[in-house]
Copies of this chain bind each other. A is one copy, B any other.
Amino acid sequence: MTFPDVLKLLQDDLQAVERAIQGNFTSDVSLIPIIGRYLSQGGGKRIRPVLVLISSKLCGYQGGNRHILYSCIVEFIHTATLLHDDVVDGADKRRGNPSANSKWGNEASVLVGDFLFSKSFALMTNDGDQRTLDAMSDTTLKLAEGEVLELVKTCDVETAENEYLDVAFRKTAALISTCCRLGALLAKASPEREKALLAFGTQVGLAFQLVDDALDYMASEERLGKPVGKDLQEGHVTLPLIHTYGQAAAKEREEIRTIVASDVISEPQLKRILELIDAYGGIDYTMNRARSLVAQAKREIEIFEDSRYLQALRTVADYIVERDQ
């Protein structure tokens, strides 16, 4: 099964998710649906809804539309954090298109992000399920803490690998693992299955962030829709560089510290960082960590009997490390 096969398997539900996203972006405040449409057409991969849908089906959820509702909710929360991230990072581009903040200003991005967060809260509250509310509120709190933690660690090249993983867990893996867990909660699956999906999602979520951070140093601008070395430019010190810094000679470390501390990273500085990352295998190290997380994730879900949905879940896990954007 390939990733496009997974999308085909979920086709009807994914279309329902798109309708839910559009439908819930309505407001009599007209800027909200305008920005909503723009963001929806931005070509996100919808990984989080995909995980909610597959895990729901895997656990035998049927007879309702709550998997569609929660797919919409997690995508709203994700989009809200993207809007705020772009403001924090001063990003001009998102997936190759002008970012919302560069189009409508930071003000609109902050406030429409708040709207999305409030809306997802209202949708969950309206659904009125204490267990999903607990799971989601715990997740959004971790997310917010992860974002602040990442900010504090900005430009800190001494960031240890475990601190980096802590940020990655809170800001990315927490929501992705909750997406997987939601399927179990909606289907009222056994605690054992819920735990397995949560563990699967945690590993896959961490891998997702690691691959993102590796791609940032690998990808060409045309493919990724954003410049190479953007994280470094924004002061985010990620695993490829942390590993490189850990391996480098004293003089090279000094060089890295100087470059990271620069207000603006020049072309030659970026080139030098890329050379060092290449020399010390920072990308390979990061990708190998991601691959082993994905292998671990797949072991977590061995308790499920084989099915199209189990295969789909494995395919998504593989896609996360194989994707080129």
A positions within 8 Å CB-CB of B: 27-32, 81, 84, 87-88, 106-108, 110-112, 114-115, 117-119, 121-122, 124-126, 128, 130, 133-134, 136-138, 140-141, 143-145, 147-149, 151-152
Contact = CB atoms under 8 A, between A and B. Distances in A.
A138 B110 contact: no
A143 to B, nearest CB: 7
Contact of A141 (B81, B119, B134): B119
A317 to B, nearest CB: 28
A134 B126 contact: yes
A273 B133 CA distance: 50
| In the complex, the 10 A-B pairs of residues with the closest C-beta atoms, listed nearest first | A115-B144, A125-B137, A122-B137, A88-B107, A118-B144, A118-B140, A125-B133, A114-B144, A118-B141, A111-B147
A88 B110 contact: yes
Contact of A87 (B110, B136, B143): B110
A122 B149 contact: no
Nearest to A146: B29
A86 to B, nearest CB: 10
Nearest to A139: B118
